[in-house]
């Protein structure tokens, strides 16, 4: 399968690339991104065939259907990483919580958040491509908290790859920060930046676009890439768990194969939701995809009104920080798929120039045929956490936003798959506050009180972080990032 450009071609970039090329250089002409030229058909026969497949078998079949240019043995070693999840036979458990609501838990990997679902196999794939091509890569990552640990975890000690990961100093939870600053592999550099997530993201974009920076790297025989969520090498692994979760509902006799379901996704950069969209396009019986946001409700407004308006918007810090976002990058692939490259280019350049665009009536109708959206503020989220806990389910504040969309967005009484994107351990102060009322607890105290309240153990992988040596000590100003990275190399 080939990948084509969402904003058309500028005569400089290749019009079509292979999967491995799209992984190494995801950015295409006019600041667009590479998207699949077509999608495989994974309709009823595929679902029937895989009704009893384990996760890796299903994953292999989906990847095969995409006809990607990655050798089977590399794919096998990438998928083997799911064996390190809590239950190797089922890395993504789907739990019935109430009535029609099932939670697909995407956080049973090494960093306890859903970024592992894609980044774990992605690291192996990227490192293998680099080795085959005898090239060395610097991977840049900017993180608001979950991408960083997952990227470091997947690339540590991998051949032909070095990682520089930037996080906003003070902008992540203790656990997220410790997961990063205790990484000691020689090919990893972690940089705390004095600023917020947008500052680190802008620094990343600036470096990725800087010819001078690339030239300096070239002298060191290093190429530049990014592990951000527009990378199709991540998206492809995010189509699989939607299909898996559907099949789990069939296996649990909650639905019959062919019945429609709602997918309910806590959304930020829209990678998770895009995976669901592609699964639906490939034939998964989905009624609608419910997009849950927090107070940064730019996606709710887009889906309900067709307007994307950043003119007076600024990021509002919430208790679900992985969704504190203004520019949701993967929406572009939905537009490209529905409206084509000319219109996508028009909308995206308008957003760049005027910080605003408005879909027309027909476009909005097409969007609303697929998506519904609502947002959940922090107090409501806390209530949902409390409520779910009282019925025996412990969840994090990102997952909680979906419970509101479950209440408000469904038009039919169909089974609903909520995607849970983080373990309780990653956002413990918020959860402790919801459950016990305690305020401003540090992570370790909050973890302890939740563990007591819920009568569960803090996973060793998390409690151990607090005793580990801090090896990554850089905390710097925005304008020092480039030189810090160069001295690491
Ligand atoms: C990244 C993340 C999200 C948002 O996912 P997108 O694919 O960017 O929409 C939601 N919740 C958690 C915990 C995350 O880490």
Residue-wise pLDDT for 227-252, tens only, equals 878 899 999 999 999 999 999 999 99
| Domains, in order of start, for the chain | 86-113+233-462 (3.40.50.1100)
Mean pLDDT confidence for 298-304 = 98
Is the distance from the beta carbon of residue 120 to the nearest atom of ligand 1 less than 6 Å? no
CA-based angle 229:304:145, to the nearest 5?
30
Mean pLDDT confidence for 85-102 = 96
Is the distance from the beta carbon of residue 146 to the nearest atom of ligand 1 less than 6 Å? yes
Going across the sheet that includes 101-105, the strands are: 94-98, 101-105, 416-420, 261-266, 286-293, 371-375
Mean pLDDT confidence for 46-54 = 97
Residue 261, H or E segment? strand 261-266
Rounded to 10 degrees, what is the CA torsion of 450, 454, 456, 458? Answer: -10
Mean pLDDT confidence for 290-311 = 97
- Distance, CA of 83 to CA of 68 (rounded, Å): 23
For residue 114, report the distance from its CA to the centre of ligand 1, in Å: 7
8 Å CB contact between 236 and 68: yes
pTM equals 0.96
- Amino acid 205: pLDDT: 84
Residues ≥6 apart with Cβ < 8 Å to 105: 92, 93, 94, 95, 420
- Amino acid 391: pLDDT: 95
Query: Residue 43 is encoded by which pair of tokens?
Result: 């309709």
Is the pLDDT at 440 greater than 90, yes or no? no
- Amino acid 227: pLDDT: 82
Is the distance from the beta carbon of residue 271 to the nearest atom of ligand 1 less than 6 Å? yes
Residue 79 banded pLDDT, cuts 50, 70, 90: very high
- Distance, CA of 308 to CA of 328 (rounded, Å): 10
Residue identified by tokens 């203004």 is 326
Is the distance from the beta carbon of residue 272 to the nearest atom of ligand 1 less than 6 Å? yes
Rounded to 10 degrees, what is the CA torsion of 243, 247, 249, 250? Answer: 150
- Amino acid 230: pLDDT: 87
CA-based angle 135:166:186, to the nearest 5?
50
For residue 197, report the distance from its CA to the centre of ligand 1, in Å: 14
CB atoms within 10 A of CB 384: 22
Residue 415 banded pLDDT, cuts 50, 70, 90: very high
> Which residue has the least CA distance to atom 4 on ligand 1?
268
Burial class from Cβ neighbours inside 10 Å (0-12, 13-18, 19+) for residue 13 reads middle
Q: Which of 282, 409, 306, 301 is nearest to 365 (CA)?
A: 306
Task: For 136-163, write each residue's pLDDT tens digit.
Answer: 999 999 888 889 999 999 999 999 999 9
Is the pLDDT at 30 greater than 80, yes or no? yes
8 Å CB contact between 348 and 32: yes
- Distance, CA of 269 to CA of 205 (rounded, Å): 15
Task: For 165-223, write each residue's pLDDT tens digit.
Answer: 999 998 888 999 999 999 999 999 999 999 888 788 888 888 988 999 999 999 999 99
SS3 label, residue 42: coil
8 Å CB contact between 424 and 395: yes
- Amino acid 128: pLDDT: 96
Residue 435: phi and psi, rounded to 5, are -85, -40
- Amino acid 122: pLDDT: 96
CB-side neighbour CA atoms (13 Å) of 189: 21
């Amino acid at each position: 399968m080939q990948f084509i450009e969402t904003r058309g071609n500028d005569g400089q970039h290749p019009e079509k690339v292979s999967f491995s090329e799209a992984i190494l250089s995801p950015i295409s002409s006019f600041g667009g991104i590479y998207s699949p030229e077509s999608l495989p058909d994974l309709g009823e026969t595929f679902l029937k065939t895989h009704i009893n497949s384990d996760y890796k078998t299903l994953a292999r079949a989906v990847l095969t259907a995409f006809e990607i240019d990655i050798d089977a043995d590399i794919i096998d070693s990438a998928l083997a990483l799911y064996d390190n999840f809590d239950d190797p036979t089922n890395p993504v458990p789907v739990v019935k919580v109430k009535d029609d609501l099932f939670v697909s838990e995407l956080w049973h990997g090494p960093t306890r958040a859903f970024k592992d679902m894609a980044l774990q196999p992605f690291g192996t794939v990227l490192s293998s491509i680099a080795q085959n091509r005898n090239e060395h890569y610097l991977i840049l990552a900017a993180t608001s908290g979950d991408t960083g640990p997952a990227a470091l975890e997947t690339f540590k000690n991998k051949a032909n790859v070095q990682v520089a990961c930037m996080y906003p100093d003070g902008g992540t939870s203790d656990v997220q920060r410790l997961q990063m600053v205790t990484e000691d592999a020689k090919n990893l550099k972690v940089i705390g930046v004095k600023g917020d997530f947008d500052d680190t993201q802008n620094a990343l974009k600036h470096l990725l676009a800087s010819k001078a920076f690339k030239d300096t790297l070239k002298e060191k025989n290093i190429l530049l890439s990014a592990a951000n969520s527009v990378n199709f090498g991540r998206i492809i692994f995010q189509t699989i768990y939607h299909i898996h979760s559907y099949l789990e509902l069939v296996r649990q006799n909650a639905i019959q194969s062919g019945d429609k379901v709602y997918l309910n996704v806590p959304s930020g950069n829209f990678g998770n939701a895009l995976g669901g969209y592609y699964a639906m396009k490939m034939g998964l019986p989905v009624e609608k995809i419910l997009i849950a946001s927090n107070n940064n409700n730019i996606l709710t407004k887009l889906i309900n009104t067709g307007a994307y308006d950043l003119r007076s918007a600024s990021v509002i810090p919430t208790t679900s920080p992985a969704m504190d976002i203004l520019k949701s990058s993967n929406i572009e692939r939905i537009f490209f798929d529905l409206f084509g490259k000319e219109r996508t280019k028009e909308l995206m350049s308008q957003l760049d120039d005027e910080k605003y665009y408005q879909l027309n009536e027909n476009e909005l109708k097409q969007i609303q045929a697929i998506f519904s959206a609502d947002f959940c503020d922090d107090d409501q989220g806390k209530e949902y956490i409390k409520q779910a806990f009282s019925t025996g389910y412990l969840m994090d504040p990102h997952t909680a936003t979906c419970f509101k969309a479950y209440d408000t967005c469904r038009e039919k009484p169909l089974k609903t798959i909520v995607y849970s994107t983080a373990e309780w351990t990653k956002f413990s102060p918020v959860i402790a506050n919801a459950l016990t009322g305690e305020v401003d607890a540090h992570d370790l105290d909050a973890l302890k009180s939740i563990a007591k309240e819920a009568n569960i153990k803090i996973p060793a992988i998390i409690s151990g972080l607090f005793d580990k040596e801090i090896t990554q000590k850089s905390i710097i100003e925005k304008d020092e990032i480039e030189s810090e990275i160069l001295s690491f190399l």
